[in-house]
């Protein structure tokens, strides 16, 4: 199967994947923003938290795989923000160019705590109910994120507007090189 031309944002919970996707589509109106958690919630008409409670994590991961397969086959010109574990799906690279939003755990945790509605946002995340466990999960994952990425972006250095510009430039250069 051929690779689609989307931009896929991966990285840990709370790193700012959704915010960056929204800024990218603001800067480039030919793109559309999609979020894999939102897609799964609308597909199942169930909140992520409830899916974890009722059906378990494995069922949620299967829904992520279904979403990945559907995106790869049906979607073009989108910026796809993903749940923190979505990078583990099979054939992620078929969806498009993979951009890893990199930050250390303390930076991410501070960002979450400083966000408006911090408590509500934390409550929605079943794998961020215990800080110690979340940090462990981060330690388990952080090298793997980098391995699957085409582009690594240190998000601790720049604001969202500048990051969006950089990713769009970077992807354009990469795509120009292909044709
Ligand atoms: C998860 C991250 C969440 C959501 C689910 C599982 C993970 O998305 O997909 O709770 O495994 O890291 P965010 O990264 O948007 O919080």
Ligand 1 atom closest to residue 64's alpha carbon, by position in its atom list: 9
Ligand 1 atom closest to residue 141's alpha carbon, by position in its atom list: 12
pLDDT score of 113: 94
Average pLDDT over residues 30-37: 97
The span from the CA of 157 to the CA of 109, in Å, is: 16
pLDDT band at 3; cut points 50, 70, 90: confident
Q: Whose CA is nearest to atom 12 of ligand 1?
A: 84
Where helices occur in 28-159 by DSSP H, the ranges are 36-44, 48-55, 57-74, 105-114, 118-123, 131-148
Whether 177 shows a pLDDT value over 80: the answer reads no
Ligand 1 atom closest to residue 125's alpha carbon, by position in its atom list: 10
Whether 151 shows a pLDDT value over 70: the answer reads yes
DSSP string, 117-141: THHHHHHT-GGGSSHHHHHHHHHHH
Q: Which domains does the chain have, with CATH numbers?
A: 7-161 (3.40.50.300)
pLDDT score of 9: 98
pLDDT band at 110; cut points 50, 70, 90: very high
Q: Whose CA is nearest to atom 11 of ligand 1?
A: 85
What's this model's pTM, rounded to 2 decimal places? 0.96
3-class DSSP state of 31: coil
Whether 179 shows a pLDDT value over 70: the answer reads no
For 114-147, how does the pLDDT look when each residue is reduced to its tens digit (9 = 90+)?
Answer: 999 999 999 999 999 999 999 999 999 999 999 9
């Amino acid at each position: 199967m051929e690779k689609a031309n989307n931009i896929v944002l991966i990285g840990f919970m709370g790193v700012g994947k959704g915010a960056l996707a929204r800024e990218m589509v603001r800067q480039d109106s030919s793109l559309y923003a999609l979020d894999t958690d939102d897609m799964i919630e609308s597909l199942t008409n169930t909140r992520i938290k409830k899916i974890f409670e009722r059906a378990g994590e494995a069922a949620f991961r299967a829904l992520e795989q279904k979403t990945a397969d559907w995106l790869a086959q049906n979607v073009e010109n989108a910026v796809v923000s993903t749940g923190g574990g979505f990078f583990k799906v099979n054939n992620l690279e078929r969806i498009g160019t993979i951009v890893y939003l990199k930050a250390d755990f303390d930076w991410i945790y501070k960002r979450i705590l400083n966000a408006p509605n911090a408590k509500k946002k934390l409550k929605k995340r079943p794998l961020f109910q215990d800080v110690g466990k979340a940090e462990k999960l981060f330690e388990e994952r952080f090298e793997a994120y980098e391995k699957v990425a085409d582009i690594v972006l240190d998000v601790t250095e720049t604001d969202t507007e500048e990051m969006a510009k950089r990713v769009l430039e970077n992807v354009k250069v990469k795509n120009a090189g292909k044709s």
